[in-house]
Structure 1
Amino acid sequence: MKFGILLTSVYDASVDARVQRAEHEDLVRTSEQLGFDLMVCGQHFLGSELRYFQPVPWLTHMAQVAPSMEVATGIVLLSMVNPVDIAEQMATLDVLTDGRAIFGAGLGYSGHEFDAFGVEPGTRVARFEESLSLVKQLWSGAEVDFSGKFTSVHGARPSVRPIREGGIPVWVGGQAAGAVKRAARMGDAWYSPPFPTHTELAGLRRLFLDTRAAHGLSLDGDFPLRREVLLAPDRVAGMDAALERYRARYETYQKWGLSGENTPIESGERLRADIMDRFILGSAAEVADGLAKLAEDLGMTHFVYKPHWPGLPHREAMKQLEEFGTKVVAELTR
């Protein structure tokens, strides 16, 4: 099993941007020392509640801080961005990290982002599939003639290409059944967000594998996964911590337009049940047991850990990271 650190946003514009940069540097430096393999950075635009720096330049800088770690976009909003631009950005990132880039991509869900890019939400699936097909062709080294509904390229043989042997792996994100099938058909892996319940996650994983099998594709690839983890003396204390941190972040996602069959339920009477259905809580031994079960039952190959939460001081997040790295990872490795 490999371990990743999620470089997420917990601040808005009222906090000096250099604080966020320094804290993320702290996270990746410490993660590398603890033996983590990967850093992951997502993408949003025009966020006011949470400040997302753009992932390719951000990861390029952070890779200099922790030069042994792989770097993954988790995720690029491929239905909105220009595929020629992102193909060359990702290839550049791969070169600058000596072939350690991973391309995580998804549809996006926020209305204000679609509006800003002039994209009709109803076209997002078609745009995504067309763009991903073009990105792969632009990385291939062959001459590209591509006539799409949204983008066309003729007689191109780009010299900006990845150096990673076998090309840049593609992780397709999403939580709905259609996204999982798309990941199976078009990606090298399904990158699961933390929103599905434990039961839903198992069903979606089966759907991914069944779809791969139906298309004659390998079933032995990566399965990168996010679950929310809170370390505490026991599960009761972990639940108390989760209640403090859960609502603020997910209310922001829902305000931005996150919805679907696996959207968290946030009504008061269901909140505790919601957390238990989606989080791994408790002592280092209990968390290690939960992650080991995911690896054994579902074939998880990468676990992406998020220590930062809105309102949680950075020093407390670093304590969680240190405990996760020294106790949970050590237990799983052993």
Structure 2
Amino acid sequence: MTDYGIQLPVQSQSTIYAEEWEAAAGAEDLVEIARAVDRAGFAYLAVCDHVAIPHRLAPAMSTVWYDPVATLAHLAAVTERVRLLSHVAVVGLRHPLLSAKQYATLDHLSGGRLILGVGAGHVREEFEVLGVDFGQRGAVLDEAIDALRAALGPDEFPTHHGKFYDFEGLGQRPRPAQRRVPVWVGGSSPAAVRRAALKGDGWLPQGDPRDRLPDQIARLRRLREEAARGGAAVGCGMEPLTIGAITEPLYVGTPKWDVGRRTLSGTPEALAESLRAYAEMGVHQIQVRFRSRSRAELIDQIGMFGADVAPRLS
């Protein structure tokens, strides 16, 4: 069966996807939704990352972006089994030892439930105010992944010597509960796909439509196979790559309101039949998002998906 996860509402409120009711929602809503996700058998819940939004982007993006580590730690304490994904952490904005301290602690406290999703970022002003070269963000991310691999590994005193980061002889505890924290690379540009193939344990596309996914997946596999034959992919160790996809918006059942023309709606079997196409392309996990008018309606949708749609995804 294809795994399924969800990007949580409330914690990020871009006008591209936020529902009206989220503007007045808060911590209690996030907790109840996370508990519903946990009960419904979702593989993961995810939160986003932005430090500060400039005026020029605020009308579209809003300025509501909860901190991923604080939010995931809060939700770890009120859930039991669901994994905790940063989708995605802009790790180039922070020194790897700082990120490692935060995410290692999160993994330790949650009993090994972290998936570290990383991405290059796109807001120039965030990089400038934090003193990071926006033009070098791709190269910074490439090295940050390597540095984080070292800092989140089993060694209490990790070592990394690179162009942007250099450290050794500095110990950090607690260590992650997992021996190897999965690193999923986000993004759909050619550079991001290559980065996922060569350095990632998973790929998180950014809104690729269905008709584009097969070519992207074929490129991922080709790059990874070429690297394996050449012995170049030291970062990911050539472990199996978890390929993801973000589905169309969903509504389980027949909606009595306008859910938008792109939204997939209908019976559980009809939705499952449509979503099974992702697995046929080679996708291992799908990220879903439900249309809703309230927290109660969203929780109902989550429950119906877990009970009635997910068992039919095989």
TM-score between both structures, scaled by the size of structure 1: 0.78
For 1:160-175, what aligned pairs fall within 5 Å after superposition?
160-165=174-179, 167-175=180-188
Alignment partner, residue 18 of structure 2: none
Q: Is the 8 A contact 2:72 2:84 kept in 1?
A: yes
Unaligned runs of 5+ in 2: 15-20, 229-236
Alignment partner, residue 331 of structure 1: 312
Alignment partner, residue 304 of structure 1: 287
Q: Establish whether residue 57 from structure 1 lines up as the match of residue 81 from structure 2.
A: no
Q: Establish whether residue 66 from structure 1 lines up as the match of residue 72 from structure 2.
A: no
Q: Establish whether residue 317 from structure 1 lines up as the match of residue 301 from structure 2.
A: no
For residues 332 and 239 of structure 1, do their structure 2 counterparts lie closer, same or farther at Cα, with a shift above 3 Å needed? farther
Instruction: Name which of structure 1's ranges 43-52 and 77-86 shifts more when overlaid on structure 2.
Output: 43-52
SS of the residue 2:249 aligns to: strand
For residues 87 and 18 of structure 1, do their structure 2 counterparts lie closer, same or farther at Cα, with a shift above 3 Å needed? farther
Q: Establish whether residue 221 from structure 1 lines up as the match of residue 241 from structure 2.
A: yes
Deviations 1:98-150 (A, max 9, x none): 11111100101112322332223211011101111111111234444433332
For 1:235-254, what aligned pairs fall within 5 Å after superposition?
240-243=258-261
For residues 141 and 331 of structure 1, do their structure 2 counterparts lie closer, same or farther at Cα, with a shift above 3 Å needed? closer
Aligned residue pairs: how many? 291
Distance 2:162 2:172 in 1: 18
Alignment partner, residue 193 of structure 2: 180
Q: Establish whether residue 294 from structure 1 lines up as the match of residue 278 from structure 2.
A: yes
Q: Establish whether residue 35 from structure 1 lines up as the match of residue 41 from structure 2.
A: yes
The CA deviation at 1:218 is 4.2
Distance 1:88 1:17 in 2: 32
Alignment partner, residue 264 of structure 1: none
Deviations 1:243-284 (A, max 9, x none): 5xxxxxxxxxxxxxxxxxxxxxxxxxxxxxxx4xxx645443
Distance 1:301 1:91 in 2: 26
Alignment partner, residue 148 of structure 1: 162
Distance 2:63 2:290 in 1: 16
Q: Is the 8 A contact 1:104 1:170 kept in 2?
A: yes
The CA deviation at 1:16 is 9.9
Distance 2:187 2:265 in 1: 24
The CA deviation at 1:17 is 8.9
The CA deviation at 1:54 is 0.7
Q: Is the 8 A contact 2:251 2:291 kept in 1?
A: no
Distance 2:256 2:240 in 1: 34
Q: Establish whether residue 102 from structure 1 lines up as the match of residue 115 from structure 2.
A: yes
Q: Is the 8 A contact 2:49 2:90 kept in 1?
A: yes
Q: Is the 8 A contact 2:246 2:286 kept in 1?
A: yes
Deviations 1:13-59 (A, max 9, x none): xx999932112111111122222231111111224515111111211
For residues 286 and 135 of structure 1, do their structure 2 counterparts lie closer, same or farther at Cα, with a shift above 3 Å needed? same
Distance 2:66 2:83 in 1: 19
Q: Establish whether residue 198 from structure 1 lines up as the match of residue 210 from structure 2.
A: yes
Q: Give me the identity figure in percent.
A: 25
The CA deviation at 1:320 is 2.5
Alignment partner, residue 263 of structure 1: none
Deviations 1:212-235 (A, max 9, x none): 10111647332233223322656x
Q: Establish whether residue 44 from structure 1 lines up as the match of residue 50 from structure 2.
A: yes
Q: Establish whether residue 2 from structure 1 lines up as the match of residue 20 from structure 2.
A: no
Q: Is the 8 A contact 2:8 2:47 kept in 1?
A: yes
Partner amino acid, structure 2, of 1:136:
R
Alignment partner, residue 121 of structure 1: 134
SS of the residue 1:103 aligns to: strand
Q: Is the 8 A contact 1:180 1:190 kept in 2?
A: yes
The CA deviation at 1:287 is 1.9
The CA deviation at 1:162 is 1.3
Distance 1:63 1:144 in 2: 26
SS of the residue 1:156 aligns to: coil
Partner amino acid, structure 1, of 2:169:
G
Once superposed, what is the RMSD of the aligned Cα atoms?
Answer: 2.8
Alignment partner, residue 246 of structure 1: none
Deviations 1:269-314 (A, max 9, x none): xxxxxx4xxx64544322211221111222x2222222367xx432
Alignment partner, residue 81 of structure 1: 94
The CA deviation at 1:11 is 4.9
The CA deviation at 1:241 is 1.3
For residues 221 and 238 of structure 1, do their structure 2 counterparts lie closer, same or farther at Cα, with a shift above 3 Å needed? farther
SS of the residue 1:94 aligns to: helix
